[in-house]
Amino acid sequence: MSTHNDPVDHADPVVLAYSGGLDTSVAIGWIRERTGRDVVAVAVDVGQGGEDLEVIRRRALDCGAVRAYVVDAREEFASDYCMPALKANALYEGAYPLVSALSRPLIAKHLVATARQIGSSTVAHGCTGKGNDQVRFEVSITSIAPELQCLSPVRDLALTRDVAIDYAVAHRLPIETTRHNPFSIDQNVWGRAVETGFLEDLWNAPTKDVYVYTDDPAYPPVPDELIITFDTGVPVAIDSEGVTPLEAVQELNRRAGAQGVGRIDVVEDRLVGIKSREVYEAPGAVALIEAHRALEALTLERLQRRFKRHVEQTWAELVYEAQWYSPLKESLDAFVEDTQRYVSGEVRLVLHGGRATATGWRSPVGLYDFNLATYDTGDTFDQSSSRGFIDIYGLQSRLVAARAAREGQAGTTQDDAAPVS
């Protein structure tokens, strides 16, 4: 990994979130031409796979960056961003496990660190003016460093895709350019997001080439059974083999993906007000959330678990809507973390045909009591207590019903009465 110790001789360069793709590669020269400022590129590895980051670093330099840094943030992303999402069972609009939304505040954090180290006043990203990510990057950046300015070449400097392709060809930039790439794709260790192209016609079903992380669930291999061990809400072992958070997600991506688990095709509400068709693959995230929910059902107190469902929805909405660093998100983090105190134990999960199903639970701190639950001999639950409980529990309902009957009778006049034949 490159370090940030190399001096930058140019005054106030722009720090660019660099992916190695067309838009951010062209943005390096485009920013220089339009603003007269040099560019320092920062590539952050959050498990997106593909090219080696050293290759991406060299490409940034070849495209005109005065410095290029790479950061291996996979462990940080899994531990500090994916695990909080898992503890919150975070699914935006009940479906999307926040694949891109989770990575943006982490990338922003490293962009800010670089900008402060080299004395830059401006951070740039490659997002368009129609999506959520422009908001996530810029709100995250200014939440950490309110003194910094943000720049989007695609949005602010009119760097459209056709202009970018023409620029790359004219300047012989070392990137693949095509006018026929059917999809816009973002991926990391937590999942993969696919949009645009023929998917913009909502009547078109996804074709098999849309999917990379998952195999077709219509033709699954034999069921895959595994046991996930959790400690305070975090997976720490799979089939008794110890794992880090990153290893847990990667292993579930592999095994759940082979069973077609985690395919999501939705129309969702973007932060900017547009409804958007999105296809996601998140086999590891979906499988882990299913197992985590199952363990919470065993270990959380009833009212705590009920209230947490409301918190989970708000938590997911905040992260989706660029509020990772907001005071409310911080407060909800404290609540979620407190609920995980006893979320420890094992869940047996069966992966098959696109589904992850919990088939067994056990925990040394669970609230399930066999002797209370059983209907067989040895039952320790005093059933005679239920009669008094029902009387008290239904007291107000009886009072309401009695009032309705009483007021209904008192309010009947002779004129309202049914005629007597």
**Upper half-sphere CA count for residue 219 (Cβ side, 13 Å):** 3
> Both ends of the chain: CA-CA distance in Å?
97
126 labelled ligand-binding: yes
CB atoms within 10 A of CB 290: 21
Q: Would you call 11 helix, strand, or coil by DSSP?
A: coil
345 labelled ligand-binding: no
With a CB cutoff of 8 Å and minimum separation 6, the contacts of 42 are 15, 16, 17, 18, 68, 69, 70, 71, 110, 111, 114
129 labelled ligand-binding: no
333 is catalytic: no
211 labelled ligand-binding: no
Q: Tell me the C-alpha distance between 14 and 3, whole Å.
A: 18
With a CB cutoff of 8 Å and minimum separation 6, the contacts of 312 are 88, 89, 90, 91, 336
Specify burial of residue 266 (Cβ count, 10 A radius: 0-12, 13-18, 19+).
middle
79 labelled ligand-binding: no
268 labelled ligand-binding: yes
100 labelled ligand-binding: no
Catalytic residue among 38, 133, 186, 215: 133
280 labelled ligand-binding: yes
Residue ranges in 340-393 assigned as alpha helix (H): 370-373, 385-393
133 labelled ligand-binding: yes
Q: What are phi and psi of 155, to 5 degrees?
A: -85, -45
Catalytic residue among 37, 57, 74, 104: 104
Q: Taking the mean position of all CA atoms in its chain, how far away is CA 45?
A: 16
119 labelled ligand-binding: no
104 is catalytic: yes
Q: Tell me the C-alpha distance between 153 and 246, whole Å.
A: 33
Catalytic residue among 143, 184, 276, 326: 184
25 labelled ligand-binding: yes
Tokens of 364: 């040394």
- Contact by Cβ (8 Å): 35, 14: yes
| Total residues belonging to the chain | 421
20 labelled ligand-binding: yes
Q: State the amino acid at position 63 in one-letter form.
A: C
Tokens of 42: 């920062």
Q: Tell me the C-alpha distance between 200 and 342, whole Å.
A: 44
23 is catalytic: yes
Residue ranges in 363-394 assigned as alpha helix (H): 370-373, 385-393
Catalytic residue among 23, 38, 186, 215: 23
Q: How far is CA 36 from CA 4, 10, 257, in A?
A: 23, 11, 47
184 is catalytic: yes
Strands (DSSP E) contained in 321-383 are: 345-352, 355-362
Q: Tell me the C-alpha distance between 396 and 393, whole Å.
A: 8
Read off the DSSP letter of residue 389. H
Angle subtended at Cα 225 by Cα 223 and Cα 229, rounded to the nearest 5 degrees: 155
242 labelled ligand-binding: no
380 labelled ligand-binding: no
What are the residue numbers of the active site? 23, 104, 133, 184
Extract the annotated binding site for L-aspartate.
128, 132-133
Binding residues for L-citrulline: 96, 132, 136, 184, 268, 280
Residue ranges at the known binding site: 17-25, 96, 126, 128, 132-133, 136, 184, 268, 280
> Which residues are part of a known binding site for ATP?
17-25, 126
